[in-house]
Structure 1
Amino acid sequence: MTSGSVLKAPAFRSVARRLVAALGALLALAALALIWAARLSLPHDLYVSELGADGMPTAGAFRLALLLLVAGGALVALACRGIRSRARVLRRWTPTVSLLVSCAFFLLASQVPCTAGCPVPAPGSPLFTWQDFTHTSAAVIAFGAAAVAMLQCGFALGHPVLAVLSRASAIAVAGIAAIGGLMSVLSFYSWMGSRFEFTATTIGLAWVAVLGLSVALARQRVSAPRDVAGEADTARPADPAGVADSAAAQQLEQPIG
């Protein structure tokens, strides 16, 4: 087998992974644009989920945006499966798993919209419905899983720029979304809480797009194979976007220190 034929398979996988990552990033950006277009079409402040509530004129656009996010997030998750976290707690599973969990619950939220006004009453309240409970729970879990993926990428080995952006995004999304959610539950300046939630949503979707683009634009360097038995292999450097073959990904999994 010639060296050229050995190098063709990794090169093809690299190109395919970059295309998948780029498509995922574009779908995430399309979802973000659709959500903001729906929001700007309404004259009053409201929470993100209210865009898809029963009877809202933006319900169809919101459901489409969530489906685009699910598709884009899943593609990005598959493309970034080489990324590993160096933090012991966060490296028990990969960011790919966290992103896929997030996408699964966003899919559930898209199929079970909240009722008009999207109330979040406690169980036992006369306003409580299982529909609202299912939608709200799915959305919270989806955002939580996405925040975990951000933290995992925030401590990824060999990805300094992505790590900084991911840590900042995780802190911003968790903090802003938590404040906005509490303001909604307590009915305290709800209009401001809704703006906080839209900000957190924007950061989260933008991060998915940035992750996909970082994979799509990364350079992959493949070491030359051995032609003579016993000849030492050329060391393979770490892939800056986590898209290297499984052998390189296993090397990145070794903890520091």
Structure 2
Amino acid sequence: MTETVDRSTPGSLSTRRPRSATLAVAGGSAAFVSAALIWVCRLLDPSVQYVSQLGATGMATAPLFNLALLLLAIAAMLVDRALVTHGAGYVTGWPVATTLLICGLCFGVASVVTCSPGCPVPFTSGARPQDLVHISFAVLGFVLAIVAMAQVAVLRRRPWMRVGSIITLTAVGATSFTGAMLSLFRGDTVLGGNLEFTAATLAIAWFGIFGLQVASDQRSLFTSARSSGSVAAADSGDLASG
């Protein structure tokens, strides 16, 4: 009985950890592609002031932008799946995977329910129910991204990712808050738009980097497990021969 268990464990590790690493790499890559597509949209129509306007009804950039937003949702969910498959250690209060899952769902809804033309602020003149839905889910998604950054920032076993998350969440929080205030109070919309694009880029880039970090962790765990398994097997062989 003991021999059967020992032989099955390495096989289980060999399928589980590589699979989670692949999911994490795919998620990180999807995030980087999402950021690139958003900036392609911005370059195609530099007159657009705020991020969500790129995906508004009737905009030429809408299909590409909403694809980018959908890719971001997929990225968050793929990294979530990688952590669920084997994400020991990524828990701060509650699992980081849970935050990423809800975050991804929010971006998914925002990619499907788009703004009306001009993407007006909800409850203002010309705003429609779809604007409230889109902006609410998009904002909640980015808030949850900041929450995920904060969770990762307190994980002491990953110093460089911790420092990077602190810097990113501070920058994203400051730029997005300033941009939102400028938008609400009709301030410098050009500056507000640039700040919002900066915040979005930083947040999405963090998803990409975090996905690659999770993949690296999984590969390291897999390598350590295989080494331990090889040592255990050699010890068993020595005992048997003795």
Instruction: Say whether residues 1:12 and 2:18 are aligned partners.
Output: no
The Cα of 1:172 is off from its aligned counterpart by 1.2
The Cα of 1:43 is off from its aligned counterpart by 3.3
Q: CA distance change for structure 1 residues 147 and 113 in 2, over 3 Å: closer, same or farther?
A: same
TM-score by length of 2: 0.85
**For the Cα contact (< 8 Å) 2:115–2:134, is it kept in 1?**
yes
The Cα of 1:92 is off from its aligned counterpart by 2.6
**For the Cα contact (< 8 Å) 1:113–1:131, is it kept in 2?**
yes
**For the Cα contact (< 8 Å) 1:45–1:191, is it kept in 2?**
no
Map of 1:248 onto structure 2: none
Map of 2:177 onto structure 1: 178
The Cα of 1:46 is off from its aligned counterpart by 1.5
Map of 1:249 onto structure 2: none
Instruction: Say whether residues 1:69 and 2:72 are aligned partners.
Output: yes
**For the Cα contact (< 8 Å) 2:116–2:127, is it kept in 1?**
no
Map of 1:84 onto structure 2: 90
Cα separation, 2, equivalents of 1:83 and 1:172: 25
**Counterpart of 1:79 in structure 2: which amino acid?**
A
Map of 2:208 onto structure 1: 209
Map 1:42-61 → 2, pairs under 5 A: 42-61=45-64
The Cα of 1:121 is off from its aligned counterpart by 4.2
Instruction: Say whether residues 1:116 and 2:117 are aligned partners.
Output: yes
Map of 1:96 onto structure 2: 97
Map of 1:242 onto structure 2: none
Cα separation, 1, equivalents of 2:137 and 2:193: 18
Q: Answer 1 or 2: which has greater helix percent.
A: 2
Secondary structure in structure 2 of the residue aligned to 1:22:
helix
Q: Deviations over 1:92-135 (max 9, x none)?
A: 3111111111111111111111111111143xx44332111111
Q: Deviations over 1:111-161 (max 9, x none)?
A: 111111111143xx4433211111111111111111100000001141111
Instruction: Say whether residues 1:30 and 2:36 are aligned partners.
Output: no
Secondary structure in structure 1 of the residue aligned to 2:212:
helix
Cα separation, 2, equivalents of 1:75 and 1:18: 10
The Cα of 1:14 is off from its aligned counterpart by 1.3
Q: CA distance change for structure 1 residues 176 and 208 in 2, over 3 Å: closer, same or farther?
A: same
Which stretch shifts more, 127-136 or 48-57?
Answer: 127-136
| Structure 2: runs of 5 or more not aligned | 237-242
Cα separation, 2, equivalents of 1:181 and 1:37: 23
The Cα of 1:60 is off from its aligned counterpart by 0.3
**Counterpart of 1:161 in structure 2: which amino acid?**
W
**For the Cα contact (< 8 Å) 2:119–2:127, is it kept in 1?**
no
TM-score by length of 1: 0.80
Q: Deviations over 1:152-205 (max 9, x none)?
A: 000114111111111111111111111111111111010110110110110111
Map of 1:162 onto structure 2: 161
Cα separation, 2, equivalents of 1:126 and 1:47: 18
The Cα of 1:69 is off from its aligned counterpart by 1.0
**Counterpart of 1:149 in structure 2: which amino acid?**
A
Q: CA distance change for structure 1 residues 43 and 152 in 2, over 3 Å: closer, same or farther?
A: closer
Secondary structure in structure 1 of the residue aligned to 2:191:
helix
Aligned residues: 221
Map of 2:239 onto structure 1: none
**For the Cα contact (< 8 Å) 2:176–2:196, is it kept in 1?**
yes
| Structure 1: runs of 5 or more not aligned | 86-90, 229-257
Secondary structure in structure 2 of the residue aligned to 1:44:
coil
**Counterpart of 1:31 in structure 2: which amino acid?**
S
